Amino acid sequence: MENIILPLSYLIGSITFIVGLKMLSHPDSARKGNLVAAAGMTLAIFATIFLYHDEQGNTLGNYPWIFGGLVIGTVLGTLAAKKVQMTAMPEMVSLFNGMGGACAMLISVIEYHHNPSADKGMLIVIVLGMIIGTVSFAGSIIAWGKLNGKIKDKAIPGAQIINFILWAALVVLAVMLITGFCATPVVFYGILAVAALYGVLFVMPIGGADMPVVISLLNSFTGVAAAFGGFLYNNPVMLTGGILVGSAGTILTMLMCKAMNRSLKNVLIGSFGNNAASGGSSSKEQGAYKEISLNDTAVLLAYSQKVFIIPGYGLAVAQAQHACHELEKLLEEKGVEVKYGIHPVAGRMPGHMNVLLAEADVPYEKLMEMEDANSEFGTTNVVLILGANDVVNPAAKEDPSSPIYGMPILEVEQAEHIIVNKRSMKPGYAGIENDLFFKPKTSMLFGDAKKVLQDLVGELKAL
């Protein structure tokens, strides 16, 4: 009977992953989809613990260690997820993704330790799982450090040549190990060390607006590494989950590159954001900008027919999503049509703005993708930009010397009036000056987004 229940549990778990992933495609069902996939994973874990046995009939054993790890991981993960602020969500995602890569790497290390003389097919799976998992782990940790400010972007002289040499070293060492030419633990752990070094150097120079793409790519690496673990253990759940994460992450990475009008190769070797401030629009005379008062902003918004809100990382930093939703509802009570324009790479991780606004219960129907929003800006009275920078920078269309030239943007200039809320005139995360701030239609509304929005609500109520 156990021989039937275990494969059935794995089948159910695999199906829940697929169903859960499908439900994640829409905010209305995303929370349930997450729970469905989690339930399938829970079933697979406990089925493995209690029902698995090898060909000799031996069970897993070591239950104190297994349940000790489960309890510690569950407690730490739950506390981290409950306490994390929306501004720290990207770095938490990166850190957790790195832990997944580390798990895949440890699986390969343990399996090699148990069976160093495995056949070539098994060694290929072990080595590839270790390389990809290690690169994902090391790269994700660097990304985590860069996102929370502990690690600065650093251009490494000859980085491309160094990375090429490291890749060549990985290939040579892997061939030596797999073919048996030099199948020693020294070579195996040499591969591990080189992969870790490559993971660090691979992410270190990348910064600015490319970080969402890198996070997505590293996530796909972790999925592929997990899939190799599924091959090692002949485990359908690990295999299915890994393939889903790997393929979804790869597709998302490609879509984000398309949204930036850049190739993945250009993202990985271009060091965009690291030297952005030294070129393009940041080096030319911009002229003067004009400010607008809270009262004038409130009047302009209240007597508009259509208003677009463009959320950016500044909105997340100020934790102003709830105040933003309150402003939206108040404007709608006054007969104003309010919509949100969402750029694919706004924020610090894929879908950052969608998650931020969903937390404040903003209706998903109000969130418009870039192409749809661009088609409506021509009939918009006011565009209110809250902390967004690079995704509305007209230099992407007008300045061939700009590092973001060619990147599709939210074409807010088509609207009658543009109001930009920022703390100061400092450039955005990519370090590029924004030409939009100096355009005739643009007015600057300085201050913390949350306080500004709360004050705007007060002004609107007083009208």
| Tens digits of residue pLDDT in 330-365 | 999 999 999 999 988 887 777 788 888 888 888 888
DSSP string, 114-173: H-TT--HHHHHHHHHHHHHHHHHHHHHHHHHHHHTTSS---PPTTHHHHHHHHHHHHHHH
Torsion of CA 329, 330, 336, 338, to 10 degrees: -40
Q: 10-13 contacts: CB < 8 A, separation 24 or more?
A: 10/44, 10/47, 10/235, 10/236, 10/237, 11/236, 12/40, 12/43, 13/40, 13/41, 13/43, 13/44, 13/47, 13/236, 13/237, 13/240
Q: Residue 211 — very low, low, confident or very high, per pLDDT cuts 50/70/90?
A: confident
* Crossing angle for the helix pair 185-203 and 120-147, to the nearest 10 degrees: 30
Three-state DSSP class for 232? helix
pLDDT of residue 420: 94
Q: Which of 69, 68, 70, 48 is nearest to 59 (CA)?
A: 48
Report, at the CATH architecture level, how domain 284-462 is classified.
3-Layer(aba) Sandwich (3.40)
**What average pLDDT is seen over the chain?**
86
pLDDT of residue 442: 94
C-alpha 83/C-alpha 44 separation (Å) is 28
Q: What are phi and psi of 340, to 5 degrees?
A: -115, 135
pLDDT of residue 152: 75
Question: Is the predicted pLDDT of residue 326 greater than 90, yes or no?
Answer: yes
Q: Residue 108 — very low, low, confident or very high, per pLDDT cuts 50/70/90?
A: very high
Q: Which amino acid is at 244?
A: L
The CA R_g of the chain, rounded to the nearest whole Å, is 25
First to last CA, the chain: 73
pTM for this prediction: 0.79
Torsion of CA 106, 109, 111, 114, to 10 degrees: -130
Question: Is the predicted pLDDT of residue 278 greater than 70, yes or no?
Answer: no
Secondary structure letter of residue 334 according to DSSP: T
pLDDT of residue 184: 87
Torsion of CA 12, 13, 17, 23, to 10 degrees: 50
Residue 449 · residue 421 · CB < 8 Å: yes
pLDDT of residue 319: 87
Question: Is the predicted pLDDT of residue 209 greater than 80, yes or no?
Answer: no
Mean pLDDT confidence for 265-284: 50
Q: How many CB atoms lie within 10 A of CB 335?
A: 10
Mean pLDDT confidence for 252-281: 63
Percentage of residues in the chain having pLDDT higher than 90? 49
Catalytic residue among 210, 390, 435, 455: 390
- Give Cα separations from 117 to 195, 229, 259 (angstroms): 22, 18, 47
* Crossing angle for the helix pair 120-147 and 89-114, to the nearest 10 degrees: 160
Longest distance between any two alpha carbons in the chain, whole Å: 81
C-alpha 58/C-alpha 452 separation (Å) is 65
* 390 catalytic residue (yes or no): yes
pLDDT of residue 123: 92
Looking at per-residue confidence, does 156 or 454 come out higher?
454
The 10 Å CB-count burial string (b at 16+, else e) for 73-93 is eeeeeeeeeeeeebbbbbbbb
Lowest mean pLDDT across 42-46, 321-325, 402-406, 427-431: 427-431
Residue 339 · residue 308 · CB < 8 Å: yes
Q: Which tokens in the block code for residue 407?
A: 């990147």
pLDDT of residue 135: 95
Residue 197 · residue 167 · CB < 8 Å: no
pLDDT of residue 39: 95
Sheet holding 306-311, edge to edge: 367-369, 337-342, 306-311, 382-386, 417-422, 442-446
Q: Which of 27, 63, 38, 35 is nearest to 48 (CA)?
A: 63
Q: Which of 397, 390, 436 is nearest to 417 (CA)?
A: 436
Lowest mean pLDDT across 234-243, 270-279, 325-334, 346-355: 270-279
Three-state DSSP class for 401? coil
pLDDT of residue 428: 61
Looking at per-residue confidence, does 391 or 88 come out higher?
391
C-alpha 375/C-alpha 306 separation (Å) is 13
